[in-house]
Structure 1
Amino acid sequence: MSDDGDLQPEDERDDATFSMFGEEELGASDDQKSYQVLARKYRPKLFSDLIGQEAMVRTLRNAFELDRIAHAFMLTGVRGVGKTTTARLLARAFNYESSDHEGPSLKLDPPGEHCKAIMESRHPDVLELDAASRTGVADMRELLDGVRYSPVSARYKVYIIDEVHMLSTASFNALLKTLEEPPPHVKFIFATTEIRKVPVTVLSRCQRFDLKRLDTGELAAHLAKIAGREGAKISDEGITLIARAAEGSVRDGLSILDQAIVQGLDGGEISGEAVRDMLGLGDRLRLLDAFEYAVTGKAKEAVNEITDQIQIGADPLVLMKDLLEIAADVATVQAMGDNYTLPGPADWTTRTRQIADSVTPAQAQRNWQILLSGYRDTQSAPESDVALRMVILRLVAAAGLPSPEDAARMIAEGGGKPSNAKGRGGKADPNVVPVGGGGTGKLSKFEDVLDLLEKEREPRLWGEAKAYIRPAVFAEGTISCDLKDGAPIDLLRRLTDFLEISTGLEWDVRKAQTSRETVKEREDRQKAERIEAVKAHPDVKAALEAIPGAEIIEVSREAPLEGELAGDNVVPLRIASSQKG
């Protein structure tokens, strides 16, 4: 870049991403050139083009310089971060040959003898397999049959297997033997978005690289440079919105940028508003207004803002994601202070800091939890706009509760009710009435929760919690539990809402693996054990034999020891018989 910000002439190659911005395809003639989508046109052609992956490139450079190149590589990361592109660059690096260089090299400029064919996926010694479409063991054995043969023209035979986690167990087993003892002329490169589904036996035989998402600022700068190269004028807000929507994926960002560029047919600047309309996003500043209204208990204003956004075409689920981002930004600003700068216009940062100053850290965390739970509800709700409205009202209701810090203090002091609820910044707001009386006292075990549900006349939630929840860890404000098969998908969310409204505390109710019983399972087991204990007594056994079809259906208290069915030790039984009359 020159001092005035213009792109430098093409013969000055001091820009680290020059190759990516070059118009020429590796050796392509003028008559072969045609329009390409930006995601293909600006696909990295050198390792220096891999923005955001400096740690991986540094490790590879050291390995190549020390001649300690692994025989198998595992590339993992979310979609669009460059896994397949990196795999092809590695294949070029293994087989790089030029007039002045012999041997593997990460310096791929100028292009080597095999580079063009490899980048176009047509080199006979570089085989690409999509594991999503060829998962069977027969496909893998067919592929590996060629491993023992030497390369046709290149230095190494390279196998690139994309979405490797899709391979069947038998396919992984077939691959494992070759990975254990690979021929010296073979290299494997695997790519996956689901690293946890790859067997550890395979992972342990690969050099693993985690390709990271790009942060919004880094991706926005990259997209702005490409927009300038394409002659498109996009506002800073528009570029930031595109980068946010891409969620760290360079490919997604370029695809959205491609779509945005055609919005400016008149040659004018493409505004943030145009990008919002294209993506179905809400107005960021108006969403900040809606969020602030909700977390300060102003229901009417918050609902009106959200309704207006939906009426002008914003997607409710996208609005939910944006509200989650705002909640996260508020909490992060509180924690980081001036050390955290939000990507985008300065007024975004100013407004976010104002909201952060108006709530306590625990309130900020509670707002995040409410929105996260609401996001799941919005995904599954029949009417997503209605679900979004209810989430906003849930934020409003939470604003009427004491802050979690105040609730904890009140419980420690004896569970007294506050004179009024806390509003912005923890200050008393006489216009807000606490929901659920501002707290009910201490809950020390899961059975106390069931008692509270019964007391508050929540029969459905009481029955489901008793039948489906297997509590593992219980503490004030925290429940870790497993769910029995058949549990309602929103059970934990509804229980969390009930507890937060009833106690005035923030509750973290989460799933965790446990072998413990539900309360109902425990009661049923204990009942069965009492019945079996009573059946073993000689007198009861004789009574059951004397009445054909009779069975014990209930024991009112613990069975006594053998021989204690007399006097005060008589155990009341209910006996049912299948006989009529």
Structure 2
Amino acid sequence: MSYQVLARKWRPRLFREMVGQEHVLQALINALDNSRLHHAYLFAGTRGVGKTTIARILAKCLNCESGVSSEPCGQCAACTEIAEGRFVDLIEVDAASRTKVEDTRELLENVQYAPTRGRYKVYLIDEVHMLSNSSFNALLKTLEEPPPHVKFLLATTDPQKLPVTVLSRCLQFNLKNMSPERVVEHLRFVLEQEMVPFEEGALWHLGRAADGSMRDAMSLTDQAIAFGGGKISEAEVRAMLGSIDSGLVWKLLQALADESAPALFAAVEELAQQAPDYSAALAELANNLHRIAVAQVLPQSVDNALGDGERLRDHAARLAPENVQLYYQMALLARRDLPLVPDPRSGFEMALLRMLAFRPQGVADIPRASLPDSAAVEPAPPPGRGVGPGQAAGGPVTSG
């Protein structure tokens, strides 16, 4: 039997198997269970967040032989055929390849006819924003008042390109990007089920590289399994993605905390041997500075998900909060200006030298910040109750 990629093998078949998008699922589940169904739904969001998947599950809910509900049986002929992509009353159309008005008219010619096997005839139009203006005009009247046996499910990655006349005829749901935490949690579950050995740090690299798309995360995981020969290790994933070694970024921060130029340039030299993307290195540096700043304010937020919790606590205690803010701003500006520098490495080094050279204005002696403990800080005395000039502690003000 041929190998099936993870993104297809683990595609959800029921609403409760979906990862994220609770705000969309709640509305659809309530509508199905209470028989308050609209005739047209529009799902908008970036690639790989579940638009087509939700539409297919909705089609299954509408045509399940056990009745319309948010929990299709998954066993009947309709559920099985929809899952296998061969249900005659689920018409899937790729609008990117059928943009002409003739294609839309041909599609709508059969709208008036009753479903062949199912309860509803479902039109799933993917990338609907690619239709031409003439195609949208041909679709408008049918989209507003379709026959009772027809449902339209539209999916798009760019809803702003849709005419407002189409938007006003649909219930619109905006799907959110997946957070790295949610992606890592799902990848951990999938790899455990697939019995693939993995390192936790590698999953975080994959989660961040997916950039909000669960499908991209699954595809990268497939690539990582092939790259690692059946296992996923952090070093191999970092090499596959071209990611920066996080240990070297912590060495840079250590040198900045020690105010040691030799150690700083030694870390840069070690980083340069990996032929890095210096813009990505500055982004990783800024990300760690952000985590340090948060840890200084909220010590309880420190976690060891990336395996660097101890380093994070140490740097949060050693770096002054005002320095962390200044370094972060310098890293952002250096990343913005990197395309203008004669050489990327020299621009990276100049950014680090600025971090060594400058200190917040007006601070003569930079304090060493320590992590605040959980004990409550004693509040300052209210105005008018303190000791004023000419008044002894605990005594009244005497007149001269």
TM over 0.5: yes
Residue in structure 1 matched with residue 235 of structure 2 by the alignment: 273
Contact 2:73 2:79 in 1 (8 A): no
Q: Deviation per CA, 1:268-304, whole angstroms, max 9, x where unpaired?
A: x643222212222122122122245458765554454
Q: Does 1:198 align with 2:162?
A: yes
- Of residues 50, 62, 74, the one that matches 1:82 is 50
Q: Does 1:166 align with 2:130?
A: yes
Q: Aligned partners of 1:174 and 1:114: how far apart in 2?
A: 30
Residue in structure 2 matched with residue 55 of structure 1 by the alignment: 23
Q: Aligned partners of 2:126 and 2:107: how far apart in 1?
A: 14
Q: Does 1:73 align with 2:58?
A: no
Contact 1:297 1:423 in 2 (8 A): no
Residue in structure 2 matched with residue 36 of structure 1 by the alignment: 4
Contact 2:64 2:78 in 1 (8 A): yes
How far is the alpha carbon of 1:46 from its aligned partner?
1.5
Unpaired segments ≥5 residues, structure 1: 1-32, 411-417, 427-581
Q: Does 1:225 align with 2:152?
A: no
Indicate the larger mover: 335-344 or 151-160: 335-344
Q: Aligned partners of 2:137 and 2:33: how far apart in 1?
A: 33
Contact 1:297 1:397 in 2 (8 A): no
**Equivalence map 1:259-408=2 (5 Å):** 259-265=223-229, 270-293=232-255, 301-339=263-301, 341=303, 343-345=305-307, 348-358=308-318, 364-378=324-338, 386-387=343-344, 389-403=346-360, 407=361
Q: Aligned partners of 2:182 and 2:42: how far apart in 1?
A: 25
Contact 2:316 2:369 in 1 (8 A): no
Q: Aligned partners of 1:55 and 1:70: how far apart in 2?
A: 17
Q: Any idea what SS the aligned residue of 1:122 has? A: coil
Change (3 A) 1:93 1:176: same
Change (3 A) 1:147 1:325: farther
Q: Aligned partners of 2:288 and 2:255: how far apart in 1?
A: 13
Q: Greater relative contact order: 1 or 2 (C-alpha under 8 angstroms, separation 6 or more)?
A: 2
**Equivalent pairs, count:** 370
- Of residues 210, 223, 230, the one that matches 1:246 is 210
Q: Aligned partners of 2:100 and 2:281: how far apart in 1?
A: 42
How far is the alpha carbon of 1:50 from its aligned partner?
0.5
How far is the alpha carbon of 1:66 from its aligned partner?
0.9
- Of residues 154, 163, 172, the one that matches 1:208 is 172
Change (3 A) 1:156 1:263: same
- 1:164 maps to a residue whose letter is V
Q: Any idea what SS the aligned residue of 2:137 has? A: helix
How far is the alpha carbon of 1:157 from its aligned partner?
1.7
Q: Does 1:112 align with 2:76?
A: yes
How far is the alpha carbon of 1:315 from its aligned partner?
4.0
Change (3 A) 1:306 1:395: closer
Contact 1:93 1:105 in 2 (8 A): yes
How far is the alpha carbon of 1:363 from its aligned partner?
5.1
How far is the alpha carbon of 1:357 from its aligned partner?
4.4
How far is the alpha carbon of 1:35 from its aligned partner?
0.8
Change (3 A) 1:344 1:368: same
* Cα RMSD, aligned residues only: 3.2
Contact 1:297 1:396 in 2 (8 A): no
Change (3 A) 1:260 1:69: same
**Equivalence map 1:112-151=2 (5 Å):** 112-151=76-115
Contact 1:400 1:422 in 2 (8 A): no
Residue in structure 2 matched with residue 181 of structure 1 by the alignment: 145
How far is the alpha carbon of 1:42 from its aligned partner?
1.2
How far is the alpha carbon of 1:68 from its aligned partner?
0.6
Q: Aligned partners of 1:177 and 1:361: how far apart in 2?
A: 61
Change (3 A) 1:62 1:37: same
Q: Any idea what SS the aligned residue of 1:273 has? A: helix
TM-score after normalising by structure 2: 0.80
TM-score after normalising by structure 1: 0.57
Contact 2:64 2:73 in 1 (8 A): no
Indicate the larger mover: 187-196 or 302-311: 302-311
Contact 2:302 2:312 in 1 (8 A): no
Question: What percent of counterpart residues are identical?
Answer: 39
